[in-house]
């Protein structure tokens, strides 16, 4: 079953604005990962945050993790049209092996 669920399902913003996506999961995790998928392409890994970390940055990306609430957020600052894509969170439970993906957030950034 899917471990992570993203919210919102779809998000439309203008260039320069910030985009925030949320992810909730169900069981204890080792780490949580965020991926991006451009239309017609495979997923690309963006950032990994470990269960003992609360915040992580990579360029314009900021990820937070709250293990007590079993939730994570991905913030994209100063968005660009090229950020238009679907974004997925993924987790492996402590008792599992492979990554389980949520259904994704579809982000549209308009010029």
Partner 1 sequence: NAGVTQTPKFQVLKTGQSMTLQCAQDMNHNSMYWYRQDPGMGLRLIYYSASEGTTDKGEVPNGYNVSRLNKREFSLRLESAAPSQTSVYFCASSEANNSPLHFGNGTRLTVT
CB of residue 69 vs partner 1: minimum separation in angstroms? Answer: 21
Calculate the alpha carbon distances from 18 to 4, 6, 21, 99, 109 in Å.
22, 17, 10, 27, 10
Range 28-47, binding partner 1 (CB under 8 A): 30-31, 33, 35, 40-45
Name the residue among 78, 70, 87 with its Cα closest to residue 34. 87
- Return the range that interacts with partner 1 (CB under 8 A); candidates 52-60, 64-72, 75-83, 99-107: 99-107
CB distance 93 to 27 below 8 Å: yes
72 binds partner 1 (CB under 8 A): no
Q: Which is nearer to partner 1, 17 or 50 (CB)?
A: 50
């Amino acid at each position: 079953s899917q471990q992570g669920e993203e919210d919102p399902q779809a998000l439309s913003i203008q260039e320069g604005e910030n985009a925030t996506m949320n992810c909730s999961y169900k069981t204890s995790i080792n780490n949580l990962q965020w991926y991006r998928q451009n239309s017609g392409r495979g997923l690309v890994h963006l950032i990994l945050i470990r269960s003992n970390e609360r915040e992580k940055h990579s360029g314009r990306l900021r990820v937070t993790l709250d293990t007590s609430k079993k939730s994570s957020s991905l913030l994209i600052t100063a968005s660009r049209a090229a950020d238009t894509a679907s974004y997925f969170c993924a987790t492996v439970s402590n008792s599992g092996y492979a990554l389980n993906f949520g259904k994704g957030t579809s982000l549209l950034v308009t010029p």
